[in-house]
Structure 1
Amino acid sequence: MLHEVLLALSGHPSPLFDTPNRKDLNSSSNVVKKDFPLLSSSEAAQLQSLGRLALLHRRIREHAEGVRSQHGSTICRAVASSLVDTHLSRFQAKILEVERQILMKDPKTVGAYNIVPLSLVVGEFDEWTRRMEWYWQLACFIRLPKQDAPSRTDPRRSGREATGAALIDFLRSEAQTGYADIETAAVELSKVAETAWLRQVSVWLLHGNLPGTGASDFFVAMKAPIEPEGRPTYSVQKDLLPKSVSSATAESMLFVGKSLHQVRQHRETLSRPSLSQTSKDFTLMSTHLRMLSSLSLPLIPSAFARTISSIRLSLSQNLLQHLLPIESIVQVLATLRQYFLLERGEFALALIAEAESRLAARRDGVGKLLQGPPNGDLRGMVMKEGEVSETLSRTWKGLYSSSPDDEEDPVQEFAEENVRLEISGAQNSRPSTSDSVTVAGPEISNVQFNDLLLPVPISLTLDIHSPLDLFISPKDIGQYSTINSYLLALRRAHVRLSDLWRLSSSRRDISATARSNPVARQRTRQRETAMRKVWASCSSAVFLLSETAAYLEGEVITSSWDHFYAWATKGSSTDRNPPESLHAAGVETDTPEAETYPHDPETLATAHRLFLSHLLHALLLTDIPFTSELRAFLTDVDQLIALFVRLQRIQHSLDLEEDEGVVDAFGNFKDEEKEVALLLDRARKRVDMGMKGVVGRLRGVDRERVGGGSGRGSGFGEAGGEGEGGRESEGGFTPWRGGGVERLLMKLDFGRLTVEEEGDVLV
């Protein structure tokens, strides 16, 4: 009977034991055949554990063989192979060891008269019972047997088969069960699983390629390009990522692989790389491979994160840095500063003028100049993408016509080729490698200012091509577009209010009839008296807008930008005859040494993201109450201007009717004048209340940022914590911290004193 027991333990069928189904195998049912001859009840009881062990061994081997030949995950196949080749082989070696002891008549096993007690044989395999039960549990976790339904409650399983990440998480958790033998087996198999996972990761980190086999189980997924000549995009699938790997580490791995892929694509467009460049690439890859090989298994999350960070930094400093010449960086920064942050004021004025001209032409063309409700003069007007683009094109033509013919501006040429004005949401920006920079951006207010220049939401955007997308991402351009819409809205309201003073007829009547007709003179005086409060409100609004825009553009943006730009270009130098693009962008080039560039793309991208986060906070674009008050105020200003212009046109038509006898058969100007005058007075009051709301919120911001604590500091330029602008320092860059909002409030308080006699508008 002993030989039957040993054969059964080795995985062979035996007449001693039944073959129960999967359900019976999980229970404590009897596996010893009851009709076996000459088998006592005590022997049957002792054979019960051996029979169950034999059946587990057979089932585990069959199941694991199916897994390693058919499973879609290379990690699961590796674990199944280790389970068969290593762990079950140890069990087989134990069987051979017991057989050897019997044949050699070892006194530990063989007693007197060459009797081998069955209890001693059972005791030899007692330590394997719990371990084999766990092996079967592991095999079923990797893939459920055919007769079992997929588990709907286990979040680590998406169906009948487990993913590689789920298996790694399962083995890590099982190593904490408290049983020494289970812990040892789980740790050994964890090493196998994580080794297979590291092989997949190394293909991505060293070559920028997805794994050749098991790519569907890898945490990086590729999406095919929408356009035929477009590039594929890559993203992280968190459900295929082991829980021991943090999101920041996953983003760093994504950055490294995408960057390598982009470098390869970039070089394909060039000539064959030189031998020296190939040698440098091989040396860098070997260095990164040694970093990965030095990791101990199972992986320690902190050590793995440090290694990935080191690889990312090494890649940026040794390879990616050479793809971004300083001329390109300076040119795109100059474009953002001049056209998005409105350093070039003539561009903003030309764009505003062109937009107003286009709207006036549209209104005149459809006959809506004096028709429709006065509060909705722009709402409902539909504009096409072509009209919006044409607005920017005509703006460029206006700038060229106003500049000297012999003066070349490389920055403007670059902007004309890459800057677009489009309806918001119409673009499909492709992701870039700089998207994975881990600086937490601020939560920008959802109050929009992009529908004030034209009656449709528009955005000024910049096309970023390779390799500049290593430095700047579409998300960054979106934030610049938000700032641009915000600044343009302030500048536009200021310009439109200031233009009211150019309407000579609104301030004095210079016609010959008015000078000779007492009735006309009396009518003029009455109008001037009625309009005095309107002029006072307009004057106060102009002061508020001019001081606010001057402070935000002249102090906050200028100081913050100069601070970042000085850091970004620190150490850069060119020869004594540098490219004109550097001169146009304001780069100092007095040093005769060869050009050097100290910052790698990752450091630049991280510092730029930090600068942009603090700038958004400094411009109050993260303060929802302030942006809400300002948006309401700008809307009221638009309505006030529309009603003001409409009243002037009505009064002009009324004067022609009374003084010259020119009668319009389709209009009742006297009644309309009263109605519009009443609406204008209400709009004036709303503008006054809007100014009070804006200044009141500024005072609230001053109190919160100075006395509110929470590490926010006392200035516009200080952002507190992750939620208010990211980390305080990145790559050696610390954002600018300037004067607080009280500097603006002092200017507004001084303005309040000058208009106090006119109604004390700025309270």
Structure 2
Amino acid sequence: MLHELFLLLSGHPSPILTPSGLLPSFPLVSPSERALLSSLSSLGHLHISLRNACSTITTTHPSTIARAVASGISTSHLHAFRARILSVEQQVLSRSAGMVGGYDIVSLAKIMSEFEGWERILSYLHSLASAMGEMSGGQLINRLRTDIHTGFPTLEAVSQHLLKVAETAWLREVSTWVLYGRLPSSEDFFITESESVVLNPVNEDETGVLKEYTIAKSRLPSFVTPDTASSILFIGRALSVIRLRGGANTGIASDTISPEMTLLPVHLSHLQSLQSPLSPQKLLTAVSEIRLSLSKHTLQKLLPASKIIDVVHVLREFFLLGRGEFAGAIVEQASEQVRNRWRRPGASGGMGASGVKSSSSSAVVKEGEVSSILTRTWGVLSSLQGEETTDERLDTARDLLYLSLVKPPPAASVASTPVHPKAKLGESFKDLLVGVPVTLNFHLSWPLELFLQPADLETYDAIFAYLISVRHTLIRLQTLWRGRRYPPAPLAFSKSENRAVAKARREVIKKREGIERAVWATAGLSVFFLETLVGYWQGEVVGGAFGELMEILGQGLEEAPEEEQQRQQEDEDGDLWMADGEDQDVRNVEEKTKEQQDPESLMREHHLYLSRLKRGLFLADHQFAPLLKKFLTSSEALASRIERMGRRNRLTDLNITPDTSTNDREVAECMASCRLVRNLLGMLIERLQRIDEERDIGGGELLSSGRKGGGGVGKIDRLLMRLDLANLRLGD
């Protein structure tokens, strides 16, 4: 019977013991012995069940962390339990005095005492293994970090050992990413690969495909702070891009070891210095050291300061319309392209093979027509310069930017993956420039991929479509005044002239003035609103946020004294990514700004800059943006009716009287359009007031990050004070 008992404890089913106790074939067992045997039976079945569960996890679980923990349970704790069984069995077989009494009697109580504490350990391990089937690696680590504080010393030791196993497995995954830039094969790593983006390759040998990565917050262990996760993402992504683009050794012999690989032992030592349980602060310190080391020895050589600052200026001047002549030129060229499209023969024909049909007509827009808009715009901007003047940023923009049609996604993908309204911010504004959706693209090439991401450029394109739509409508309304003609004064009456005809003409002119007064007042209100909005956006929002970004990039304010600018330029020439610390006079400043000068921090600040822009431009507000789209389209419709009204007036002045019913219908449509524009304008003002109230309640009314010189950037009450439309009867 003892032999069968040890077989059961060691994981072999016994014919005489079941989870409920002894079989009826042993009726002479006393109640106390039955209780002891039942406890030992429960212990044996826990062992069997736990061993099977661990075997299943190690072979089928998708998480490498869970498999490592299950393997740790089997190889360490279950092995120790089986070793204890063998030890007790050896004592019985050797008739140890402490175990075997007189007449070779083995006390079940003594056997049970040898397994004291094991029932609690096996029960804990069994509950952990049962829960592991539904856990990710991060969730398992979080549970083990909680279990080390159960209050039982034996369970604390077990959970600490398993936590060390889990965190070691997690660090292996992190090491694969931060040391080599390769994504671990495990499905529970917190960095995931998103869709690959086709980019413009530097040369014909490159594939032009850049993988993008995102953080899955649900997979993050609790000890990984957002800053640490962001740094880990940046390091691995940078290494991945460097490996894809040929690294820092582009143009160097292939057998030369790249700088990032020479740093491998140093970076590995930072990770090996971490001990379980992992401290959030120590992990952040280790990751930061790796990030700064990679920055100092590799990234500063690939992407110098001047190139980053130039690209950010190009994005500011052209995507954010910081260069006003660019906005005016591209709107003019787009409008001219639309006019030419309708002038050409067969403009109302069907859709061509390479064209896209306008949403408002049957005219076809081809890819070449869209790209030619930007080409002619560059020509206009170049003509504004002097013969001896060289605009380097314009030349850079000419090389990097191109305009193209937005290709509609396949019908199958649209049906299978519905897009959330928040996913395509500003998408609805892309068709207001030429009547079909167009996009302003940026040639993202090496090594700018280390600083910019395709998602950043999508945000810039959405902001560009948003801003250029407003500027297009504003210019359209402003040009109405160029064609405005005041009616000529009535001619002096001759003896032969019919006085009744002259009186009728005066009545027509008087009626025309009454109608036009309301129409031109509405158009003037629209111009005033859009001019104020554009001025606020460019001066307060974009200008303020861009000034703060330039301070972080090391450029400083343009108003800085000449000596300070010279010192800042010397710092920039050394390295934007990291301060070298060689100049004793600026060492303290470099130490303070060290955290802001590494590339990961710069990318984070750039993303924050884009977030501020979206918020300050109200593009992220899902009530204001649709209202503004309706207001712009209604204002465009009003402008078209005003132009038709002007043509009708010219016919009237030439004594060519149009059809009366047509005149009445056009007048009614024009007045209805005026009412719609005024109503939408009132709704926009109300929404701005509501946004101001909501931000004041939430304490987040400022776009500024609180740095020096940034207080009060983009506050909405300044815009509302400039508008000051409360006393105007917008609804009339």
* TM-score over 0.5 (shorter chain): yes
Q: Cα offset for 1:329? A: 0.9
Aligned-partner Cα distance in 2 for 1:514–1:313: 89
Q: 1:679 maps to which residue?
A: 669
Aligned-partner Cα distance in 1 for 2:610–2:7: 73
Alignment of 1:292 onto 2:271: yes
Aligned-partner Cα distance in 2 for 1:319–1:279: 6
SS at match of 1:215: coil
Q: Cα offset for 1:414? A: 2.4
Query: Residues 169-208 of structure 1 correspond to what in structure 2 (within 5 A)?
Result: 169=142, 171-172=144-145, 175=148, 179-208=152-181
Aligned-partner Cα distance in 1 for 2:462–2:605: 19
State the one-letter code of the partner of 1:650: R
Q: Cα offset for 1:204? A: 1.5
Q: 1:689-723: CA deviations, max 9, x gaps?
A: 55555556556666666xx454346xxxx23xxxx
State the one-letter code of the partner of 1:452: L
Q: 1:393 maps to which residue?
A: 375
Tell me if the contact between 1:444 and 1:621 (Cα under 8 Å) persists in the aligned partners.
no
Aligned-partner Cα distance in 2 for 1:736–1:608: 18
Tell me if the contact between 2:679 and 2:731 (Cα under 8 Å) persists in the aligned partners.
no
Q: 1:579 maps to which residue?
A: none
Q: 1:459 to 1:231 in 2, by over 3 A?
A: closer
Aligned-partner Cα distance in 1 for 2:139–2:548: 47
Q: Cα offset for 1:335? A: 1.2
Q: 1:125 to 1:538 in 2, by over 3 A?
A: closer
Aligned-partner Cα distance in 2 for 1:630–1:612: 20
Aligned-partner Cα distance in 2 for 1:595–1:486: 38
Q: Cα offset for 1:638? A: 1.6
Q: Equivalent of 2:299, from 320, 331, 334?
A: 320
Q: Cα offset for 1:643? A: 0.9
Aligned-partner Cα distance in 2 for 1:335–1:607: 18
Q: Equivalent of 2:470, from 490, 512, 516?
A: 490
Alignment of 1:131 onto 2:111: no
Q: Cα offset for 1:566? A: 3.9
SS at match of 2:209: coil
Aligned-partner Cα distance in 2 for 1:699–1:95: 77
TM-score (norm 1): 0.73
Alignment of 1:711 onto 2:699: yes
Q: 1:636 maps to which residue?
A: 634
SS at match of 2:210: coil
Q: 2:243 maps to which residue?
A: 264
Alignment of 1:379 onto 2:360: yes
Q: Cα offset for 1:641? A: 1.4
Q: 2:337 maps to which residue?
A: 358
SS at match of 2:431: coil
Alignment of 1:606 onto 2:586: no
Tell me if the contact between 1:654 and 1:670 (Cα under 8 Å) persists in the aligned partners.
no
Aligned-partner Cα distance in 2 for 1:12–1:692: 82
Tell me if the contact between 2:347 and 2:363 (Cα under 8 Å) persists in the aligned partners.
no
Q: Cα offset for 1:652? A: 3.7
SS at match of 1:421: strand
Residue identity over aligned pairs, in percent, reads: 34
Using the TM superposition, name which of 604-613 and 223-232 deviates more.
223-232
Q: 1:762 to 1:343 in 2, by over 3 A?
A: farther
Q: 1:67-120: CA deviations, max 9, x gaps?
A: 656766543443344333322332233234435545666543343455433332
Q: 1:655-674: CA deviations, max 9, x gaps?
A: 55649xxxxxxxx6332122
Q: Cα offset for 1:490? A: 3.3
Tell me if the contact between 1:321 and 1:600 (Cα under 8 Å) persists in the aligned partners.
no
Aligned-partner Cα distance in 1 for 2:628–2:188: 50
State the one-letter code of the partner of 1:603: S
Q: 1:723-752: CA deviations, max 9, x gaps?
A: xx8xx36xx787453475555555555x99
Q: 1:432 maps to which residue?
A: none
Q: 1:142-181: CA deviations, max 9, x gaps?
A: 67xxxxxxxxxxx43xxxxxx5445445545655666543
Q: 1:117 to 1:555 in 2, by over 3 A?
A: closer
Query: Residues 211-230 of structure 1 correspond to what in structure 2 (within 5 A)?
Result: 211=184, 215-216=186-187, 218-222=189-193, 225=196, 229-230=208-209
Q: 1:625 to 1:92 in 2, by over 3 A?
A: closer
Q: Cα offset for 1:294? A: 2.9
State the one-letter code of the partner of 1:502: R
Q: Cα offset for 1:50? A: 3.5
Alignment of 1:418 onto 2:400: yes
Q: Cα offset for 1:192? A: 1.6
Q: 1:592 to 1:77 in 2, by over 3 A?
A: closer
Aligned-partner Cα distance in 2 for 1:590–1:49: 79
Tell me if the contact between 1:444 and 1:622 (Cα under 8 Å) persists in the aligned partners.
no
Q: 2:546 maps to which residue?
A: 561
Aligned-partner Cα distance in 2 for 1:474–1:412: 22
Q: 1:248 to 1:104 in 2, by over 3 A?
A: same
SS at match of 1:606: helix
Aligned-partner Cα distance in 1 for 2:97–2:644: 116
Q: 1:539-560: CA deviations, max 9, x gaps?
A: 4443443344334324543344
State the one-letter code of the partner of 2:160: V
Q: Cα offset for 1:604? A: 1.8
Q: 2:586 maps to which residue?
A: none
Aligned-partner Cα distance in 1 for 2:542–2:261: 40
Tell me if the contact between 1:223 and 1:233 (Cα under 8 Å) persists in the aligned partners.
yes
- Give unmatched runs, 5+ long, in structure 1: 21-27, 144-154, 157-162, 370-376, 429-441, 574-585, 660-667, 720-724
Q: 2:316 maps to which residue?
A: 337
Q: 2:201 maps to which residue?
A: none
Tell me if the contact between 1:76 and 1:142 (Cα under 8 Å) persists in the aligned partners.
yes
Q: Equivalent of 1:88, from 78, 81, 85?
A: 78
SS at match of 1:379: coil
Aligned-partner Cα distance in 2 for 1:384–1:308: 51
SS at match of 1:194: helix
State the one-letter code of the partner of 2:154: D
Aligned-partner Cα distance in 1 for 2:300–2:731: 52
Aligned-partner Cα distance in 1 for 2:265–2:600: 21
SS at match of 2:246: helix
Alignment of 1:453 onto 2:438: no
Q: 1:535 maps to which residue?
A: 520
Q: 1:737 maps to which residue?
A: 712
Q: Cα offset for 1:333? A: 1.4
Tell me if the contact between 1:447 and 1:627 (Cα under 8 Å) persists in the aligned partners.
no
Q: 1:503 to 1:361 in 2, by over 3 A?
A: same
- Give unmatched runs, 5+ long, in structure 2: 199-206, 349-357, 411-421, 559-564, 579-596
Using the TM superposition, name which of 463-472 and 268-277 deviates more.
268-277
Aligned-partner Cα distance in 2 for 1:55–1:699: 69
Aligned length: 671
Q: 1:75 maps to which residue?
A: 65
Using the TM superposition, name which of 249-258 and 216-225 deviates more.
216-225
Tell me if the contact between 2:305 and 2:572 (Cα under 8 Å) persists in the aligned partners.
no
Task: Give the CA RMSD over aligned residues.
Answer: 4.7
Query: Residues 242-253 of structure 1 correspond to what in structure 2 (within 5 A)?
Result: 242=221, 245=224, 249-253=228-232
